Amino acid sequence: MVDVRILLIEDDEKLAERTAEYLQSHKATVEIVPDGERGLERAASGEHELVLLDLMLPGIDGLELCRKLRQRSKVPVIILSARGDEVDRIVGLEVGADDYMPKPFSPRELLARIRAVLRRHSAAQGDDEDSVTTGPLEIDRARRTATIAGASCELTAYQFDLLWLLATQAERVLSRNQLHAQVRALRGEPAMDFDPTVDRSIDVHLSKIRQALDAASPGRGAAMIKTVRGVGYVLSPQG
Amino acid sequence: MVDVRILLIEDDEKLAERTAEYLQSHKATVEIVPDGERGLERAASGEHELVLLDLMLPGIDGLELCRKLRQRSKVPVIILSARGDEVDRIVGLEVGADDYMPKPFSPRELLARIRAVLRRHSAAQGDDEDSVTTGPLEIDRARRTATIAGASCELTAYQFDLLWLLATQAERVLSRNQLHAQVRALRGEPAMDFDPTVDRSIDVHLSKIRQALDAASPGRGAAMIKTVRGVGYVLSPQG
DNA sequence: ATCCGCCTTTACGGGGCCTTCACGCCCCAG
DNA sequence: CTGGGGCGTGAAGGCCCCGTAAAGGCGGAT
């Protein structure tokens, strides 16, 4: 297991710390968030490859969080819960969790579950749709072609990956950080720090994409990608 | 996934209902049969594209049912079983099942497996072809000959395998990693690590193939194989 | 043992494109 | 109105991706 980015949503600080340390010693990157609100936000960011979710959280119900998360992201989730009964387990799986881990657990056991979930998930990877259509824009992942209003659009590798991410998550505002992390994840590259106030490469790429779209379909093209000032970018069909 | 007809053979009414609802919400048509006798009959009817089979059925052993079904139909089968041990899985796959899903499972994961099985199945459909024609290029797998615009083309073993893979997946961009893995699979060799930034053999072979194609049909030949910078190669009929 | 193909590796050159820098614009706060 | 931060985008530099010739290595055939 190398360079897996894990989000741990857990309010018990000591437990979280211990767990994180163990996982880090096995070459994982762990981010700890102690509350549900921000947990959901971080989990949906697309910057992690796995979410460990404690059910007993202050403020928000873990199951509800999981259901909401599932509407916004496909990231695998393992639920951690002190209530180890079967009912909880079934309910957990029903709201979209991928596995269920009763507390207390040994770190080793958790690691085994994590590996199993990641393996299953990557095995099922290939069946995501390999094309998306949003408004006049069609993107084919297998052929790596993008057409807008029927006109084909020349894109470089990085530009294509970015447009793919925006299109598969249309109507959703993505920060530069998210875009950067997701492109790296898409390519199977390890995560990297990224400071959007210094590194403007995402902006430049998006500028180029807009130019390419506009060249293929003057007027319509560039307008599809909107800038959300202070936040990031969003692809919106109706321009 | 659109309009997949699924047969669910399951006697636990509540579980069957829940599962069916989830699948229907993802655009599948689900027929539920709670007993083995009629299950086998319906499964062999050819009216479904996939069968989900619970092993613990009243009356008939699920494994036996699967074996009998396999004699009468090629419909893909996913076995559902409460006994999640490895032995059961092996036996299940041995009697002709396409995948094995231990209970309890998350509906989401089941859906992923269904998609994977369907994809494998449809991919395997067109695989028995012994020859492929894309544009001016004709490749005969049995005789191991390639002709372009009627002119025969001298290729070594590795070059032929590569061209075959590109031709059977024309218009699809394949990474060096994929090409390497698929050639090995084609020859029944075990998978191997492959770092395309270091190992340039794929590039060299493709260079040779282009030369061979161009020698056979100057102008047309080499242009058929396009390089997608930063990604891989794609064979495209119209050059 | 020697030769001969063929696959792999190495090396080098060319060029595409990712990044960075810079400048100017726009938006908003004060 | 004015200042500052966020953003668009042209230009430049350099990294690294790729094509291809050539050498090395390995097995099979004679």
Alpha carbons B40 and A234: distance in angstroms, whole number: 50
Residues of B with CB under 8 A from a CB of A: 18, 104-109, 112-113, 115-116, 119, 171-173, 228-231, 234
Could you tell me which residues come within 8 angstroms of residue A155 by beta carbon, excluding any fewer than 6 positions away?
Answer: A146, A163, A209, A212
Q: Taking a C-beta distance cutoff of 8 angstroms, is the pair B108, A96 a contact? A: yes
| CA of B156, C1' of D30: distance in angstroms | 21
CB distance B112–A96 less than 8 Å?
A: no
Per-residue model confidence (pLDDT) at position B160 = 98
- Rg, chain A, Cα only: 19
Each of the 239 residues of chain A gets a pLDDT tens digit; together they read 667 889 999 999 999 999 999 999 998 989 999 999 889 988 887 788 899 999 888 878 888 999 889 887 888 999 998 876 666 777 777 788 888 888 889 999 899 889 888 877 776 654 456 788 898 999 999 999 999 988 999 999 999 999 999 999 999 999 999 999 999 999 988 889 899 899 999 999 999 999 999 999 988 888 999 999 999 999 998 75
Residue scoring higher pLDDT (B188 or A233): A233
Per-residue model confidence (pLDDT) at position B201 = 97
* pLDDT, average across residues B158-167: 97
A231: left (phi > 0), else alpha (psi -120 to 50), else beta? alpha
Alpha carbons A165 and A177: distance in angstroms, whole number: 13
Alpha carbons A152 and A142: distance in angstroms, whole number: 15
The pLDDT confidence band at residue B218, using thresholds 50, 70 and 90, is confident
Residues in a beta bridge with B145: B140
Residues of B from 201 to 230 whose C-beta is within 7 A of strand C: which are they? 201, 204-205, 229-230
**Structural class in CATH, domain A4-125:** alpha beta
Check whether B207 has a pLDDT greater than 60.
Answer: yes
Alpha carbons A57 and A49: distance in angstroms, whole number: 21
Question: How many Cβ atoms sit within 10 Å of the Cβ of residue B51?
Answer: 27
What dihedral do alpha carbons B103, B107, B112, B115 form, nearest 10°? Answer: 100
| CA of A157, C1' of C19: distance in angstroms | 15
Q: Quick one: what percent of chain B has pLDDT higher than 90?
A: 51
Bases on strand D under 7 Å from any protein CB = 6-11, 16-22
How far is A164 from chain B, CA to nearest CA, in Å?
15
Q: pLDDT tens, B53-93?
A: 998 887 788 888 898 998 888 899 999 987 656 566 667 77
Per-residue model confidence (pLDDT) at position B83 = 67
First-residue to last-residue Cα distance in chain A: 42
Per-residue model confidence (pLDDT) at position A129 = 65
Q: Which residues of A185-199 are buried (b: 16+ CB within 10 A; e: fewer)?
A: beeeeebeebeeeee
**Structural class in CATH, domain A131-235:** mainly alpha
Per-residue model confidence (pLDDT) at position A83 = 73
The residue assigned the tokens 């084919």 is: A140
Whole-prediction pTM: 0.74
Residues of B in contact with A98 (CB under 8 A): 106, 108-109
* pLDDT, average across residues B33-45: 91
What are the sequence ranges of the domains in chain B? 4-125, 131-235
